[in-house]
Structure 1
Amino acid sequence: MASITTANSGSKRALFYDETKTRRTVYLGRVSDKESETIRRRIEGILSSKILGSPMAQDDAAWLAKSPALREKLIAVGLVEPEPIPEKVIIPTLDAFLDGYIKRHGKSRKPATVAVWKQVVANLKEYMPEGIRINQITAGHAKEFHEKLKARGMATTTIHKRIQFARQFMHDAVDWKIIEENPFLKVKTQKSSVKVNEFVPQEVVDKLMKKANPVWQVILGLSRYGGLRTPSETLSLRWEDIDWEMNRMSIPEPKVEHHEGRGIRSCPIFLELRPILDEAFEIFGDKSEYVVAAPQYRAAANTAMGWKNSNLRTEMTRLLRRAGVSGWPRLFHSMRASRQTELQREFPLHVVCSWLGNSPRIAQQSYLLVTEDDFAKAAGVQKVMVEG
């Protein structure tokens, strides 16, 4: 199939006929008889594989890999295919990558989440060097970004969340093997150790209830005595979600419905809440599908970007003034936290978390509060111990 000829000058060449019966010549130059014989056998093996349409034998491929000059000659006569030219990898700029991230992942997230992503993206585009490619971002850039957020006077918790999201974006780049290491891994942030919620005593709620109209009595009751998230859960609860005989509520959970196994939770109608719901049902049961008979609040709060407080906070502030009561941080969230704090005194943590729809970690971190009753109880115990 292949043969070796020697010219008068001593230069050798390999002759063979390819799969189309065309004669081919490979000029070998001045090589030894042993080397030329090896080349002849290898050519025959490679040619045989090509004619049969099978992959090149492994030992032939290994031999050829060690002879790049000969490989080029075999490519020139069509016996070996040239190596494919690797596609040039184009590393995206940070701006392009972030826009692509939101486009790829935004469809599966709630609009409110995407809105927060866009805030972080805007920060990154503003504070990172213009036109920087994502593989050029270093831990130094990430730490500098952190410092610039702090210089803006952002709250500790806000900065912590924004660095978390920036780290999340870069993890995606690592997953796609665009970068090898996440530059935000070395940025250390901390959550605020101060709980921003404040315990709202029942006596304060009683004052508000006396000044509230029937609709607001229900809102206050669901938030403070039911522990519902307001506005999303409070305004989503329907009368059909109330099981009067079992004394339970099936509470819609718009905030976490995208999580597997979430969307509706079962919660008791607590003792303080039952008379409020009974009275509301007498007034609104045959007039409204929803427990809170205020469609204007739902329309304003349930937006395309997710649930918002809308004007509930404004109305709540007016109610506080009418009742002569001072406000507190995070008006509705604090009432929910107050309910969880009370329940925790009587029931196991995992049970309370199931009823209120959060995790033990989140409850310990943000919801469970130290109250004046705790101090009074401890002081009373201490007094008895001293007297004894």
Structure 2
Amino acid sequence: MATIRKEENGFKSILLVCPDKKRRTIRLGKMHLRTAEKVKTKIEGIAANFAAGVDLDPQQAEWLRSIDDKLHERIAKCGIIKPRLNTTLSAWLNRYMKTHDVKDSTKRSLERAKDNLIDYFGADRQIRTISSHHATEWRHWLKTEGNQRGSEKATKPLAENTVRRRTGRAKQFFDAAKRAGLIESNPFDGLKRTTTENKARQFFVEQNVIEQCIEHAPNQDWRTILALVRYAGIRAPSELVRLRWEDVNLPDRRLTIRATKTEHLSHNGVRVCPIFPELFTHLDQAWEAAPDGAEFVIQRAEYRQPGANLGTTFRKIIERAGFAPWPKLFTNCRASRETELVDRYPIKDVSSWLGNSKPVAMKHYLMVRDSVFARAIQEPTTTPEKPTGTETGTAPSSKH
């Protein structure tokens, strides 16, 4: 497919048959024949991948990233790679953010990953010069030093799942850059980005604990918030702040919940959750306390503002009730509800009520409880008796 041509004074060129069937010359300059052979092998492999319609392998992408602009331009003229576009990291990330209309929570997540990339690589770094090795180093930096606020380092490193989520966002940025022809391959491919179960942050919030927290809540809104997150497993704040009284059917015990997280699905993020007896009491009290014509279940507007910091108040309530705050204030309440409901009802129904899938429930919400283990060793499990022949209407066969 390619041949090396020796020229005067040690100069070498590669003759390559391009996709348009024309033979073109790729001038290499002055170099040893052995080095030219290596370059020829690289170019032949890239041309073969192009002809087969497959992506470059990591070694090919790394090599293209490492060569100078002149050689890259000569190879691009053969039509087997895209021309190199010089774009800075900051310019690309800003362009990506401007052209993608996403939810506020997703935008905040992308902004954090964007800041981490610029903090480490620099705003003026050419995006094409970031290799898989650089991406690996960035991930290590993110986990060990990336959790900073201003000029001061945070007291603890980022959690592994946080690092994975931000690595996933970085991959998202660079996947788009690859589609735009700015890079040959994504340097973040292969890095761990799927979140895993963190048992250290699991905590079952007992009902008597949340009831004592409700007693120490500063107002009716907070009593309702705590009841909803613990007894309906409602997501806070996204689902909580959208809840209207028109969604609460107390006579039929039906609660309609509208989830921004799942509104892209076929059900448009709308689900119906039973108003359980333990929840009914608190919602009934909230209804009686609501002013005439109230629209939202949570009355105070400051609680419904985007980015409202409900966690700080929740933590204070827990401490006033005499308990130590659990690791994930709202999520642990939701997981506790799903765990105890699955003990009584089919998981298909429970997942529908709480708005997640069975795999998600199993991976992120359901917990192993000591109380269930204790019950298992105390309560005998009965085995159905084997039916006899007379019980099924047939006589047992005789032995011969």
Q: What TM-score does the superposition give when structure 1 sets the normalisation length?
A: 0.68
| 1:242 matches 2:248 | yes
Q: 1:263-297 CA distances to partner (integer Å, 9 max, x unpaired)? A: 32211111211122122222216352222232332
Separation in 1, partners of 2:207, 2:106: 34
| Aligned counterparts, 1:1-388, within 5 A | 90-105=85-100, 108-128=101-121, 131-152=124-145, 153-188=157-192, 191-195=195-199, 196-212=201-217, 213-258=219-264, 261-284=267-290, 286=292, 288-298=294-304, 302-303=305-306, 308-310=307-309, 312-381=310-379
- 1:342 Cα shift? 1.0
Alpha carbons of structure 1 residues 242 and 181: separation in structure 2 relative to 1, 3 Å = same
Contact kept? 2:204, 2:332, Cα under 8 Å = yes
Find the aligned partners of 2:234 and 2:93 in 1 and give their Cα distance. Answer: 35
The count of corresponding residues between Structure 1 and Structure 2 is 295
**Structure 1 contact 267–355 (Cα < 8 Å) conserved:** yes
Contact 1:139–1:187 (8 Å) recurs in 2: no
The answer to whether the Cα contact below 8 Å between 1:267 and 1:356 also exists between their aligned partners in 2 is yes
One-letter code aligned to 1:248: R
AA paired with 1:144? E
Shift of 1:343: 1.1
Deviations along 1:105-143, one digit per CA (max 9) or x if unpaired, are: 1xx201232222122122222322664433332211111
Residue of structure 1 in register with 2:386 after alignment: none
The amino acid of 2:214's aligned partner reads M
CA gap of 1:88–1:358, structure 2 versus 1, over 3 A, is: closer
For the pair shown, the structure with the greater C-alpha radius of gyration is 1
Q: Distance in 2 between matches of 1:280 and 1:126?
A: 47
Please say if residues 165 and 194 of structure 2, whose CA atoms lie closer than 8 Å, have aligned partners that are also in contact.
Answer: no
Alpha-carbon contact 2:247-2:257 (below 8 Å) kept: yes
Partner amino acid, structure 2, of 1:197: Q
CA offsets per residue over residues 330-358 of structure 1, 9 Å max, x none? 22221111111111112222321221112
Give the TM-score taking structure 2 as reference length.
Answer: 0.66
Structure 2: where are the runs of 5+ without partners? 1-19, 24-76, 146-156, 383-400
Contact 1:239 1:285 in 2 (8 A): no
Contact 2:271-2:353 at 8 Å conserved across structures: yes
- Deviation of 1:248 (Å): 0.8
The residue matched to 1:266 in structure 2 has which SS?
A: strand
Shift of 1:162: 1.1
User: Which amino acid in the other structure matches residue 284 of structure 2?
Assistant: D
* Higher mean displacement: 153-162 or 281-290: 281-290
Q: Percent identity?
A: 37
Contact persistence 1:174–1:181 (CA under 8 A): yes
Structure with more relative contact order (C-alpha pairs < 8 Å, separation 6 or more): 1
Bigger shift: 181-190 or 254-263?
254-263
> Structure 1's 88 and 177: CA in aligned 2 closer, same or farther, altered over 3 A?
closer
Which deviations, in whole Å up to 9, do the C-alpha atoms of 1:205-231 show, x marking residues without a partner? 222233334332211111111111122
Q: Please, which runs of 5 or more residues in structure 1 have no aligned partner?
A: 1-61, 67-83
Q: Is the CA contact (8 Å cut-off) linking 2:225 and 2:240 kept in structure 1?
A: yes
